[in-house]
């Protein structure tokens, strides 16, 4: 199976999942993320403005902001994005993506990047929508990020290697039912908790 076929299969699965009770599943994923952020005492977190088939992390954003964490979200610039602090109001832009108003770039170290995925493969590399926005951003700014968590509404893990060298590599993959951790020697392992 190649990446294009895998992506189509996963998108179909995610669209179906978006129709049936996504709120409870999104809440489970957000709660797992929140517990880990608190456990590790992370203060600077990169999140995203969710599309309809992605885990809705809006409540997590609000919760972290109330606790004075620095929450960063993508602001689209050409074929990539830059990070800006999340603030209201947000506007709907291209592809239905929501963004806050433009503000200064954020150049400091980021404790945790939470990245939406369509799926991933056995190398723990991300399969996204195929536009390359995240790949270009992480190529340039990845050295400022300590950990990368992938999130999705359902498990979509390829049984073989289908990604390219430039695809982003994560540390954890979290769905409502499973958590996968990347292990240096054992590869992909399933975990109960993080």
Instruction: Look at residue 102 and tell me whether its pLDDT is greater than 70.
Output: no
- pLDDT of 55 strictly over 60: yes
The whole model's pTM is what?
0.86
Q: What are phi and psi of 150, to 5 degrees?
A: -95, 140
Q: What percent of the chain has pLDDT over 90?
A: 47
Whole-number pLDDT of residue 112: 96
pLDDT at 182: 84
**Which CATH number applies to 3-129+139-175: 3.50.50.60, 3.40.50.10420, 2.70.70.10, 1.10.600.10?**
3.40.50.10420
- The band of 98, judged by pLDDT with boundaries at 50, 70 and 90, is low
The pLDDT assigned to 91 comes to 72
What token pair was written down for 114? 């939470």
Domain ranges of the chain: 3-129+139-175
Q: What is the DSSP letter of 173?
A: E
- For residue 121, count other CB atoms closer than 10 A to its CB: 20
Query: Would you call 41 helix, strand, or coil by DSSP?
Result: coil
CA distance 30 to 33: 5
Instruction: Please choose, from the candidates 64, 159, 177, the residue with its C-alpha nearest in 3D space to the C-alpha of residue 72.
Output: 64
| 149 three-state secondary structure | strand
Given pLDDT bands bounded at 50, 70 and 90, which one contains residue 191?
low
**Tokens, residue 64:** 């972290």
Has residue 194 got a pLDDT over 60? no
| Arithmetic mean of pLDDT over the chain | 85
Q: Please give the Cα distance from 28 to 143 (Å, whole number).
A: 29
Q: What is the pLDDT confidence band of residue 74, given thresholds at 50, 70 and 90?
A: confident
Tokens linked to 23: 């709120």
């Amino acid at each position: 199976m190649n990446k294009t076929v895998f992506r189509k299969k996963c998108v179909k699965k995610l669209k179906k999942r978006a129709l049936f009770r996504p709120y409870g599943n999104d809440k489970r994923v957000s709660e797992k993320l929140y517990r880990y952020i608190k456990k590790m005492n992370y203060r600077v977190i990169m999140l995203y403005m969710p599309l309809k088939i992605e885990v809705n992390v809006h409540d997590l954003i609000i919760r972290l902001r109330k606790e004075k964490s620095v929450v960063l979200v993508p602001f689209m610039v050409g074929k990539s994005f830059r990070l800006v602090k999340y603030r209201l109001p947000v506007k709907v832009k291209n592809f239905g993506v929501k963004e806050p108003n433009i503000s200064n770039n954020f150049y400091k170290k980021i404790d945790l990047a939470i990245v939406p995925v369509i799926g991933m493969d056995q190398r723990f590399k991300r399969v996204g929508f195929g536009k390359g926005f995240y790949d270009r951003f992480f190529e340039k700014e990845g050295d400022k990020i300590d950990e990368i968590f992938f999130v999705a509404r359902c498990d979509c893990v390829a049984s073989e290697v289908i990604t390219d060298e430039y695809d982003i590599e994560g540390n954890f993959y979290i769905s409502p039912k499973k958590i996968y951790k990347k292990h240096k020697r054992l590869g992909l392992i399933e975990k109960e908790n993080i």
